[in-house]
Structure 1
């Protein structure tokens, strides 16, 4: 959505006619607001966000809160590791957590960019960590004793540069696993490095991914780093972590309520019927019934009656009487009925 262009302000206010007062001047037309959603991270006023109704938001506020705690912990540990390894000022700070389709996320990345993918054993899927290529080259420069201030080459890393970077990435993945231990136990393992976003096959194009954005700084260089995780792999773990933990008092109260409910269920009155075997008749016969007609029940004279509730047969009985009242005496289930049930 683009805002309408505005021309330069006039140097003089247009004179008003006596017939037209300021209250009667027509209000300028405003464009209708577009349907927008704000990401669960830092709010950005005035920036509309695209919302695809075919892919509804799956990240709830509870999920974001749990992820935010874990990602902030990872950012703090990553800052410590970068500062220690590079012996220079470094910083990683969580900016926000958003939901994307994987294709939409790849469209936000420049080309080339430094991308590393990693597995999430025992969970399915892969994760992805991306940050600017010049920052990745500056990190190697720092680790080799340089200042990192020189112009960095815009090319893929050599085998030596990749080996040096992999050592740092291994430490970052260890801290990532430790930060997510409160959500689920994972053992991330380095998978590979890519520089073209379209070649980073971490997920299918339509898969929903969770993207955590970080403000990253190494020395005088600043950029944005993103950590991408598949939503489907973490969905159950997020639901478990987001559910509130009940105290012992709350658990005892819930147990007493369940016991009271079970006790009261035993006192609920239930309508019970004793009937002959159901009979099927045609609509014509049913409509032609008249006083004096006889319906053949086809119930064997030696067969017990059915004891039912809500059209479910749960026992059998024979007609009897008790203190001058008609009664039904419960009898064992007939063999044929027991065989049909089995």
Structure 2
């Protein structure tokens, strides 16, 4: 996103090539020269190096989170890395966007204002292809997204936005809220054209598909939390937690323990023929292979977790756990 040309500059360059006033060789020579960007002292930079470095750490962490999510969702190798983090004017960013880019808007609660996330067409179609069972090969198509494709992408972008809060966890308690999804970048009016924004460009690989995901964050949103954007604050917060790895493990275990599971108490089983099953009527008796003195088995999914005795508890059928089946891999945490 660096050294972005305005539309007028692009038109003038194309016209010069067409008229023969400038040659392709001359362009190649110019491109190899050292690039110098002008600095406008009337409009100084609003982010210092320390703040930009902290943002880089945040979104490197975000890249790892997004890589894990995409790899699990798409069941394919995915890699997400920070490419660049720059401070720009919003018009520079919006003018450089392709017309067919996928754009999501998210509120950065509890901060005031909205930011923007964009997915290049190659990444968007790569995600769609994998979600629909395709091989995830490079798909080049200059067309609009269908309603079904937009619905699939909306679900993915919602998680892409939610993970931003996880990446900011050590700096500020953000709760990003997905607002809407658009497929026309020319309609993007996030802030005024001259507003300062931070552009985070992420390089995305989904098997053979290569593209980018970018975040556009207005300065007015980050201004209240600028004091948090320093590496000393980041590492102080990290040390206060008994180590990032241990904290992540405990957080994961806590979330896993809160997952609801279904338990089934099996009285016994029986094998009969299809003919016998079709002949069954009300009042018929089917002998089970379970003796009266045997324990009932308790299953979660296909795994046998417990054995117990059937009974009642507060007018409900219940089972008393008499044995934990450690051989099935379930840890006995009662000891």
TM-score interval, smaller chain:
0.5 to 0.7
Deviation at 1:238, TM superposition (A): 2.2
Residues 123 and 204, structure 2, Cα contact 8 Å, conserved in 1:
no
Question: What are the equivalent positions in structure 2 for 1:186-205 lying under 5 Å apart?
Answer: 186-205=174-193
Q: Distance in 2 between matches of 1:196 and 1:59?
A: 29
Deviation at 1:106, TM superposition (A): 0.7
2:46 corresponds to which of 58, 64, 89: 58
Q: Distance in 1 between matches of 2:24 and 2:145?
A: 47
Deviation at 1:134, TM superposition (A): 2.9
Range 134-143 or range 190-199, more displaced: 190-199
Q: Distance in 1 between matches of 2:70 and 2:98?
A: 23
Write out the 4+ residue segments of structure 1 that deviate beyond 6 Å after TM superposition. Answer: 4-8
| 2:275 corresponding residue in structure 1 | none
For residues 297-322 of structure 1, the C-alpha deviation after alignment (integer angstroms, 9 at most, x for no partner) is xxxxxxxxxxxxxxxxxxxxxxxxxx
| SS of residue matched to 1:54 | coil
| 2:101 corresponding residue in structure 1 | 113
| 1:126 corresponding residue in structure 2 | 114
| 1:87 corresponding residue in structure 2 | 75
State yes or no: 1:230 paired with 2:218. Answer: yes
**TM superposition score normalised by structure 1:** 0.56
For residues 66-107 of structure 1, the C-alpha deviation after alignment (integer angstroms, 9 at most, x for no partner) is 111111000011111111111112111002211011111111
1:103 corresponds to which of 65, 79, 91: 91
Deviation at 1:153, TM superposition (A): 3.5
Residues 116 and 191, structure 1, Cα contact 8 Å, conserved in 2:
yes
2:136 corresponds to which of 136, 140, 148: 148
Q: Distance in 2 between matches of 1:155 and 1:212?
A: 26
Question: What are the equivalent positions in structure 2 for 1:33-72 lying under 5 Å apart?
Answer: 46-72=34-60
Residues 66 and 238, structure 1, Cα contact 8 Å, conserved in 2:
no
Q: 1:68 to 1:243 in 2, by over 3 A?
A: closer
| SS of residue matched to 1:88 | coil
Residues 89 and 218, structure 1, Cα contact 8 Å, conserved in 2:
yes
Q: 1:5 to 1:68 in 2, by over 3 A?
A: same
| 2:145 corresponding residue in structure 1 | 157
| SS of residue matched to 1:92 | strand
State yes or no: 1:181 paired with 2:160. Answer: no
> 5+ residue gaps in structure 1?
9-30, 32-43, 248-342
What is the total number of aligned residue pairs between the two structures? 212
| SS of residue matched to 1:139 | helix
Q: 1:237 to 1:55 in 2, by over 3 A?
A: same
**TM superposition score normalised by structure 2:** 0.57
| 1:221 corresponding residue in structure 2 | 209
Q: Distance in 1 between matches of 2:149 and 2:102?
A: 12
Deviation at 1:178, TM superposition (A): 0.9
| SS of residue matched to 1:213 | strand
| SS of residue matched to 1:128 | strand
> 5+ residue gaps in structure 2?
4-12, 14-21, 237-335
Cα RMSD for the two superposed structures: 3.0
Q: Distance in 2 between matches of 1:144 and 1:128?
A: 26
Q: Distance in 1 between matches of 2:120 and 2:24?
A: 36
Q: Distance in 2 between matches of 1:65 and 1:100?
A: 16
Q: 1:7 to 1:244 in 2, by over 3 A?
A: closer
Range 188-197 or range 61-70, more displaced: 188-197
